[in-house]
Amino acid sequence: MHHNVNAPFDREAVKTFKAGDTISLSGTIYTARDAAHKKMIELIKENKPLPFDIKNSTIYYVGPCPSREGEVIGSAGPTTSYRMDAYAPTLIELGQTGMIGKGLRGQNVINAMKEFGAVYFGAIGGAGALMAECIKSQEIIAFPELGAEAVRKLEVRELPLTVIIDCYGNNLYEMGKAKYRKI
């Protein structure tokens, strides 16, 4: 099934997404990679505010390339998601509903997704230029010292995604392997 989704979205919307569904995501999302996630968890431990409202947020695991003249952003392909696995459950518990990246997720993340209601979207690895075309604006909002890994607020339009893991724990990677084991 295909969904046109506006971000931010809540946990009720998350329940409608199933592993294998395709998504066209529009709206406001944020970027953060492992260095930014580590800093955000430190802020939480220090009872300091996060750089954005984590409730109903979607984080895109990306460190975009510098933009060329006339472009909003440079190539913006997804990074490997497992590097955020140590941090993601805390953010999910605090209200994060979406994650965008590539690759497998640990059981700790899947358990948090099922318990609190979150979804993991896969973006097309190796297609950073295509993904960048869907980004209509960007602003660094935290940790500028991290360069490409600074936290950015993005406005996206029709970002092409696939639901890899839904809030029920269904995992497209596992479903795909199971399908071919039967043949």
pTM above 0.85, yes or no: yes
DSSP letter at 51 equals S
15 to each of 73, 136, 182, how far by Cα in Å?
32, 28, 29
pLDDT one-digit tens code per residue, 67-90: 888 899 999 999 999 999 999 999
CATH number, residue 41: 3.20.130.10
Residue range 130-142, pLDDT digits in tens: 899 999 999 999 9
Q: Is 2 a catalytic residue?
A: no
Catalytic residue among 37, 39, 105, 152: 37
- The letter for the amino acid at 94 is L
Which domain does 153 fall in, by range?
Answer: 2-181
Cβ atoms of 119 and 168 within 8 Å: the answer is no
| Number of structural domains in the chain | 1
